[in-house]
Structure 1
Amino acid sequence: MAGNPERRAALVDAGIEVLASEGARGLTFRAVDARAGVPVGTASNYFTGRDDLLRQIDTRLHTRLAPDPEVLTGLMRAPKDRALVTALMRDLMRRVTRDRTGYLALLEMRLEATRRPPLRDSFTTSARGELEYGMEFHRQAGLPGGDETVAVLYLAMLGLLLEHLTLPGVLDGVLPGVDVPDGLVERMVARIVPAE
C-alpha cells in the first residue's frame, strides 16, 4: 500500500469528483486515476479495493463539509436563541452549496450504501455520529430545544439540501415572497425550534 498522504488525498478528492459526476457505477480506479491526472494503476496502489476507497471518501466528505472553526467561533458569540440556530443552518446551506460536488457525492454514497451492506454499516455509523455530534453540540451550546428538535431539523435540512442541490426549480415560488434557500431555512427553523 503506497504511503504518500498528499497523493492519497488527491486520489480521494478525485474519487469524490467521479462519484458526483458519474455516480457509483462510474467510480472505478481507472476513472479516479484519470480524474487525478495520474498514471493508470495508481489508485490500486493506495486502496485495498472499492469499499476501501468509498470509506475514505466518506471520511473526507465529512471533513470537506464540516464548519469552518473561525466562522463557527464567530457565530457562537451571538445569543443562544432561534436566530443563532437560523444562522447555523444558513452556514450549513452555504457550505454545502459551495461544495456542491461533495454533497452530491455524499448523496451517491447514500444510494450506494443501500446496495452494499458493509458500506451501509460504515456509512450509517458515520452519519449517526454526525447526528449525535449535532445533538451534543446543541445541548452544550445551550441552544433552544432538545434532541428531538435537532433530529427534526436534521431531517428538514436534508430535504431542503436535496431539493436545492438537485432540482432547485422545485422550490422556486412555492411560498410566494420567501427566498430560496435562506427564507426557507428561516421558516423551517421558526417552525421547528421552540421560542426562547
Structure 2
Amino acid sequence: MRQNPARRAALLDAAIEVLAREGARGLTFRAVDTEAAVPVGTASNYFANRDDLLTQVGNRFYERLEPAPEVMAAALSGPRDRDRLTQLMHELVERVTSFRSGFLALVELRLEATRRPALRELLTKRIRADVERNIANHEVSGLPGDADTVVSLYLALNWLILERLTLPDVFPEEQIHDLVTGLVEGVLPGPGRGSA
C-alpha cells in the first residue's frame, strides 16, 4: 500500500464526495479515481479493499470536522453559562452543516454498517469515542450541564442537521437558529434567553 499522506487524504476526500452524491453502491475505486482526478488504479494502491476504503472514510470525516485547538480555546473564552453553550451549539451546527458532503457520507456509512459487521464495529467505536470525548471536554470546560446534556444535544442536533441537509423545507432556514436555541433551553432549563 502506498503511504503518501496527502494523496491518501485527497482520495478519501474524493470518496466522501462520491458517497454523498452516489451512495454506497456508487463508491468504487474507479469512481474515487475519477473524482480525485488521478490515474485509474490509484485508489486501489492506497486501500486494500472497499471495506478498508469505507472504514477510512469514516475516520477522515472526523478529521476534517475537528476544530483546531485555538478555535476551541477561543470558543471557550468568556463566561461559562447557558448562553455560551447555546452559542457553541450554533457554531457546531453551522460547522457540520457546512461540510454537507461529509455528513451525508457519514449517513451512507451508517446505512452500510447495517450490512457490514466490521464497518459497524468501527463506526460504533469511533462514534462512541467521539461522544465520550465530547462529554469529557464538556465536564472540564466549566459549561453548565452534565453527560446527559451532551448526549441529549448530540442526538437532537444530529437529527436537526440531517433534516436541514436532506429535507430543508421541513424546517425552513429561518427557523434553524430558534430551533437550536430551543433545544439547548429544553435540555438545560434556566434563565431566559439572553440572560447572563
Q: Which band: TM-score by shorter chain? A: over 0.9
Confirm or deny that 1:182 pairs with 2:174. Answer: no
Amino acid at match of 1:35: E
Kindly state the Cα deviation for residue 18 of structure 1 after the two structures are TM-superposed: 0.4
Contact 1:149 1:193 in 2 (8 A): yes
Contact 1:16 1:57 in 2 (8 A): yes
Q: TM-score, normalised by structure 2?
A: 0.93
Kindly state the Cα deviation for residue 123 of structure 1 after the two structures are TM-superposed: 0.4
Contact 1:145 1:194 in 2 (8 A): no
Amino acid at match of 1:11: L
| 1:11 alignment counterpart | 11
Contact 1:144 1:194 in 2 (8 A): no
Query: Residues of 1 paired with 2:81 and 2:179: CA distance?
Result: 18
Kindly state the Cα deviation for residue 95 of structure 1 after the two structures are TM-superposed: 0.7
Contact 1:67 1:92 in 2 (8 A): no
Query: Residues of 1 paired with 2:115 and 2:52: CA distance?
Result: 16
Unaligned 5+ residue runs, structure 1? 174-178
Query: Residues of 2 paired with 1:192 and 1:131: CA distance?
Result: 17
| 1:67 alignment counterpart | 67
Unaligned 5+ residue runs, structure 2? 192-196
Kindly state the Cα deviation for residue 134 of structure 1 after the two structures are TM-superposed: 0.9
Contact 1:33 1:41 in 2 (8 A): yes
Residues 93-133 of structure 1 show CA distances to partners (whole Å, capped at 9, x for unaligned) of 11112211111111111111111110000001000011101
| 1:142 alignment counterpart | 142
| 1:41 alignment counterpart | 41
Kindly state the Cα deviation for residue 70 of structure 1 after the two structures are TM-superposed: 2.9
Query: Residues of 2 paired with 1:192 and 1:143: CA distance?
Result: 13
Q: Which contiguous aligned blocks of 4+ residues in structure 1 show a shift greater than 6 angstroms?
A: none
Kindly state the Cα deviation for residue 10 of structure 1 after the two structures are TM-superposed: 0.8
User: How is 1:1-196 mapped onto 2 (pairs within 5 angstroms)?
Assistant: 1-172=1-172, 179-195=174-190
Aligned residues: 191
| 2:194 alignment counterpart | none
Give the 3-state SS of the residue equivalent to 1:181 in structure 2.
helix
Give the 3-state SS of the residue equivalent to 1:170 in structure 2.
coil
Give the percent of matched residue pairs that are identical in Structure 1 and Structure 2: 54
Give the 3-state SS of the residue equivalent to 2:149 in structure 1.
helix
Kindly state the Cα deviation for residue 194 of structure 1 after the two structures are TM-superposed: 3.7
